[in-house]
Amino acid sequence: MKIALASDHAGYEEKEKLKPLLREIGIDFEDLGTVSEDSVDYPDYAVKVARRVANNEAELGLLVCGSGIGMSIAANKIPGVRAALAWSEESARLARQHNDANVLTIGARTTPAAEIPKIVRAFFLTPFDGGRHSARVAKISELDCDNEPKDR
């Protein structure tokens, strides 16, 4: 599996700590930045990862910022991206199983450091369940500002 990976300045240290874990669980990654703890704008990095995922240049994405919220909001502006902020193993697992989330966002300042590797493992090692969830996920793709999702 190949993923796109990025952080802002607040998530930089945690992003760097996650690289050995990603390698350990067999995930190839492209690091799209940032490259230091110097202040940057998180939307720039969220969009880089989201576009890689939306364009099928990466299977999944991983974003780390201070809270995970800003990255999630920005990534979800890209059509085809379903970014989920996970704060526990269970939330990460459910994001994949039920929502077919394709980008994980993590808050480096809001998530206990010991939980972050567990969250990453759960997200990247959990498949989408499909079944009854497929129609619900399809409705997400149909949404735009002017239309209601189609009844199924």
On whether the CB atoms of residues 65 and 39 are closer than 8 A, the answer is no
**Given 9, 98, 133, 145, the catalytic residue:** 98
Query: For residue 116, what pLDDT is reported?
Result: 98
98 is a catalytic site residue: yes
pLDDT digits (tens, 9 = 90+) for 16-73: 999 999 999 999 999 999 999 999 999 999 999 999 999 999 999 999 999 999 999 9
Domains of the chain: 2-142 (3.40.1400.10)
Mapping DSSP to helix (H, G, I), strand (E, B) and coil, where does residue 136 land?
helix
Tens digits of residue pLDDT in 72-104: 999 999 999 999 999 999 999 999 999 999 999
pLDDT for residue 150: 61
Q: Would you give the distance in Å from CA 99 to the centre of its chain?
A: 12
pLDDT (tens digit, 9 = 90+) per residue, 90-140? 999 999 999 999 999 999 999 999 999 999 999 999 999 998 999 999 988
Among this protein's residues, is 9 annotated catalytic? no
- Residue-level pLDDT at 65: 98
pLDDT at 146: 53
42: its two tokens: 């998180």
DSSP helix/strand/coil, 12: helix
Catalytic residue among 9, 65, 133, 145: 65
Q: What is the pLDDT of residue 149?
A: 55
Whole-model pTM: value is 0.93
**Can you tell me whether residue 5 is helix, strand or coil?**
strand
Write down the pLDDT at residue 142: 82
Per-residue confidence at 152, pLDDT binned at 50, 70, 90? Answer: low
CA distance 151 to 135: 9
Residue 1, both tokens: 């599996």
Do the bridges between strand 2-7 and strand 103-107 make them parallel or antiparallel, or are there none, so unpaired?
A: unpaired
